[in-house]
């Protein structure tokens, strides 16, 4: 195991131990530490083959200690999707305030969302596991995803109406760039050659270029 991999595991474990000792920050730090540790474990063996014992090992805690906070892998999976959709919603809200035009807002959303998921969730291939959640949790996440999808489609429609991009199907446009963003969890490594902010800038540039066949300059810096 490389030094960077060891350092990352120690960071996760430190975050877990700090969460145990700080009641005010405990809940959110516990969730993030769980998701990051689970993401690494699931990435090695897959969601269904990974045990809670292996996740406890990733956190450097005992299984009884882990059971004080989570009872199943489905709970961890739900937390991962809850955190991810929350970050997407926050990125959308920020983009609506920061972008001057619809296409700028799409770009700002993409860059912000990618930066958030890579910095907060790290390698979280478990995001590709959606229907392994309980039906109730799946419905909760799906409701929020559907709302975000409608808001992003509206942005694409606004960009078309503003003449920033050529006429297209907003539904397919959103499927295209959200599929690209969500696919990052399959290959991103926190200790890889490119850091999250750099990947975020590149993805935002590619998305803007793909949606801007008119050749107009849509971004300011």
Domain span at 46? 3-71
Residue count (the chain): 221
Query: How many contiguous H segments (helices) and E segments (strands) does the chain have?
Result: 9, 0
Closest residue by Cα to residue 144 from 78, 196, 76, 71: 78
**Poorest-confidence range of 79-88, 155-164, 208-217?**
208-217
Question: Are residues 121 and 26 located together in one domain of the fold?
Answer: no
Residues 126, 33: one domain?
A: no
**pLDDT band of 221, cuts 50, 70, 90:** very low
Residue 108 contacts residue 94 (beta carbons within 8 Å): yes
Quick check: is 205 in a domain? yes
d(CA 177, CA 180): 5
Q: How many CB atoms lie within 10 A of CB 27?
A: 11
Tell me if 215 is assigned to some domain. Answer: no
CA–CA distance, 183 with 181 (Å, rounded to integer): 5
User: pLDDT band for position 1 (50/70/90)?
Assistant: very low
Check whether residue 177 and residue 196 sit in a common domain: yes
Q: Tell me the percentage of the chain whose pLDDT exceeds 90.
A: 36
Residue 100 shares a structural domain with residue 200: yes
pLDDT bracket for residue 212 (50, 70, 90): confident
Signed CA dihedral, 146, 119, 101, 156: sign only? negative
CB–CB of 105/163 below 8 Å?
Answer: no
The predicted-structure confidence for 157-196, as pLDDT tens digits, reads as follows 999 999 999 899 999 999 999 999 988 877 776 677 778 8
Identify whether residues 26 and 129 lie together within a single domain: no
Count of CB atoms situated within 10 Å of the CB of 34: 25
62: which 2 tokens? 């005992």
Residue 8, pLDDT above cutoff 50: no
Write the DSSP assignment of 124-170 as a string of letters. -GGGG--TTS-HHHHHHHHHHHHHHHHHHHHHHHHHHHTTSS----H
- pLDDT at position 108 is 96
How large is the average pLDDT for residues 130-134?
82
Q: Which of 124-133, 137-146, 185-194 shows the highest mean pLDDT?
A: 137-146
Same domain, residue pair 12 and 59: yes
Give the least confident one: 6-10, 101-105, 174-178. 6-10
Confidence tier at 94 by pLDDT (50, 70, 90): very high
Tell me the C-alpha distance between 125 and 144, whole Å: 20
Q: At residue 7, what are phi and psi to the nearest 5 degrees?
A: -60, -40
What DSSP string describes 60-91? TS-HHHHHTT-S-HHHHHHHHHHHHHHHHHHH
CA distance 17 to 85: 26
- What's the structural domain count of the chain? 2
Average pLDDT over the chain, rounded to whole? Answer: 80
Q: Is position 218 within any domain? A: no
Cα distance between residue 73 and residue 79, in whole Å = 10
pTM: 0.78
């Amino acid at each position: 195991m490389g030094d960077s991999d060891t350092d990352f595991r120690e960071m996760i474990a430190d975050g877990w131990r700090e969460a145990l000792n700080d009641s005010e920050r405990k809940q959110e730090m516990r969730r993030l530490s769980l998701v990051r540790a689970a993401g690494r474990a699931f990435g090695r063996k897959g969601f269904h083959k990974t045990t809670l014992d292996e996740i406890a090992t990733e956190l450097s805690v005992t299984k009884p200690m882990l059971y004080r906070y989570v009872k199943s892998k489905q709970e961890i999976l739900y937390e991962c999707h809850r955190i991810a959709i929350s970050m997407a919603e926050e990125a959308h809200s920020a983009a609506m305030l920061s972008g001057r035009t619809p296409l700028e807002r799409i770009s700002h959303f993409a860059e912000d969302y990618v930066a958030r998921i890579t910095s907060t969730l790290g390698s979280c291939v478990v995001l590709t596991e959606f229907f392994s959640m309980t039906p109730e949790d799946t419905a909760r996440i799906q409701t929020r995803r559907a709302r975000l999808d409608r808001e992003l489609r509206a942005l694409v429609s606004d960009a078309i109406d503003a003449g920033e991009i050529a006429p297209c199907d907003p539904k397919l446009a959103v499927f295209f760039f959200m599929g690209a963003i969500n696919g990052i969890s399959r290959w991103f490594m926190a200790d890889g050659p490119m850091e999250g902010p750099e990947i975020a800038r590149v993805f935002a540039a590619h998305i803007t270029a793909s949606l801007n066949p008119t050749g107009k300059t849509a971004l300011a810096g």
